[in-house]
């Protein structure tokens, strides 16, 4: 594939979020000079007319779809209607608008939760649709699967060179640290920080601590996005991850060390664990020449610094 024109306009949908803001940084670092963001305050991508008007007026050569309603186990389990309908609308409207604007390259970002709950580990891309989903986030997963099919359908019917990438669990600067709606890693950072600050003797962590998870720094994902736009052109989704996993207990201990908490870690086994293990097979993306560069210890330290400088400072705590 040819290198993308660095002066071509690139639209990043969801540019105010964890992933979108990182993609903007990565594109600019790679020399792209016309990067346009689309935040929810600018355009409601759930509105088909608004989405088409915004995208056609922007006229991008490339679109990266990092726009989504996202949340952790509790949020997904409690509000499946919103997670299903909002994401279906966002994706369908953005793809329709990109087609109307004759956008040559679209990168749709899904999630590793699209794979079956008991998929063979590490999870290969061809595991998709081979078994039942994890019940706590099945609505979100189905929406993301529909996004993959949307990309494949535009390729098949219109010959679009659009692609899909499936990142593993993400974290990094700009993450959501709200305890009700965040994912596990930022929630743990906040819990352990507040416990250390308050001199608490223990921190309660959801579940048994035994599930295994893979974590990818969002800046690594963003670098992979730029790489894939120039190195990948296939209807099949491609995994983006580290290929390495840790138990939730190991993660909790690592976060405790990072923030300086020395008390007891207690596991609330009445809370759901979710999928027992989830680590991606990343051989396909590695074959294109990409690998992550940010280790978990380094990533945790930099994410905690961002949390201190932005969330804690703003809250005055």
> Cα separation of 71 and 115, whole Å?
17
Please calculate the CA angle 298-299-300 and round it to the nearest 5 degrees: 95
**Residue 109 annotated as binding site:** yes
* N-to-C CA span, the chain: 50
C-alpha pair distances (Å), 225 with each of 77, 96, 255: 29, 21, 27
Based on C-alpha coordinates, what's the Rg of the chain?
A: 19
**Residue 144 annotated as binding site:** yes
**Residue 20 annotated as binding site:** yes
> Cα separation of 38 and 20, whole Å?
9
**Residue 191 annotated as binding site:** yes
Among candidate residues 115, 140, 232, 307, the one labeled active-site is: 140
**Residue 110 annotated as binding site:** yes
Tell me the residue ranges of DSSP E strands in the chain: 9-13, 34-38, 62-65, 105-109, 163-167, 169-171, 202-206, 212-213, 215-217, 238-240, 246-247, 264-268, 277-278
Tokens of 233: 């052109």
**Residue 80 annotated as binding site:** no
Q: Do residues 218 and 191 lie in contact, with contact meaning Cβ atoms separated by under 8 Å?
A: no
**Residue 168 annotated as binding site:** yes
**Residue 124 annotated as binding site:** no
**Residue 131 annotated as binding site:** no
**Residue 308 annotated as binding site:** no
> Cα separation of 174 and 219, whole Å?
11
**Residue 183 annotated as binding site:** yes
Catalytic annotation present for 158: no
Taking residue 55's Cβ as centre, other Cβ atoms within 10 Å add up to 27
Residue by residue, DSSP assigns 114-152 as GS-TTPPSSBPGGGTTSSPPPGGGHHHHHHHHHHHHHHH
**Residue 273 annotated as binding site:** yes
**Residue 210 annotated as binding site:** no
**Residue 14 annotated as binding site:** yes
**Residue 162 annotated as binding site:** no
Structural element, H or E, at residue 93? helix 80-100
Which residues are part of a known binding site for substrate? 191, 206, 213, 273
Please identify every residue annotated as catalytic: 140
Which residues are part of a known binding site for NADP(+)? 14-20, 109-112, 144, 167-170, 183
Which residues are part of a known binding site? 14-20, 109-112, 144, 167-170, 183, 191, 206, 213, 273
């Amino acid at each position: 594939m040819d290198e993308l024109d660095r002066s071509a306009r690139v639209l990043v949908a969801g540019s105010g979020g964890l992933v979108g803001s990182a993609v903007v940084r990565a594109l600019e670092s790679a020399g792209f000079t016309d990067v346009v963001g689309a935040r929810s305050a600018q355009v409601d991508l759930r509105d088909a007319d608004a989405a088409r008007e915004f995208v056609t007026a922007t006229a991008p050569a490339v679109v990266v779809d990092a726009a989504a309603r996202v949340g952790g186990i509790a949020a997904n389990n409690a509000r499946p209607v919103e997670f299903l309908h909002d994401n279906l609308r966002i994706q369908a409207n953005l793809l329709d608008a990109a087609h109307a604007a004759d956008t040559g390259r679209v990168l749709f970002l899904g999630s590793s939760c699209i794979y079956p709950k008991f998929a063979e580990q590490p999870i290969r891309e061809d595991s998709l649709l081979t078994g039942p989903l994890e019940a706590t986030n099945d609505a979100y997963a189905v929406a993301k699967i529909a996004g993959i099919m949307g990309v494949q359908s535009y390729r098949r019917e219109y010959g679009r060179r659009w692609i899909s990438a499936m990142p593993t669990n993400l974290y990094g600067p700009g993450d959501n640290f709200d305890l009700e709606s965040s994912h596990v890693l930022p929630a743990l950072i906040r819990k352990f920080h507040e416990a250390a600050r308050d001199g608490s003797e223990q921190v309660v962590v959801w579940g048994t601590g035994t599930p295994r998870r893979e974590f990818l720094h969002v800046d690594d994902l963003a670098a992979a996005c730029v790489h894939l736009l120039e190195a990948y052109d296939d209807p099949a989704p491609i995994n983006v991850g580290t290929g390495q996993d840790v138990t939730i207990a190991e993660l909790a201990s690592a976060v405790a060390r990072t923030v300086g908490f020395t008390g007891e870690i207690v596991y609330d086994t009445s809370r759901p664990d979710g999928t027992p293990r989830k680590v991606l097979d990343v051989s396909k993306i590695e074959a294109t020449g990409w690998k992550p560069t940010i280790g978990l210890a380094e990533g945790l330290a930099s994410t905690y610094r961002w949390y201190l400088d932005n969330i804690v400072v703003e809250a005055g705590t």
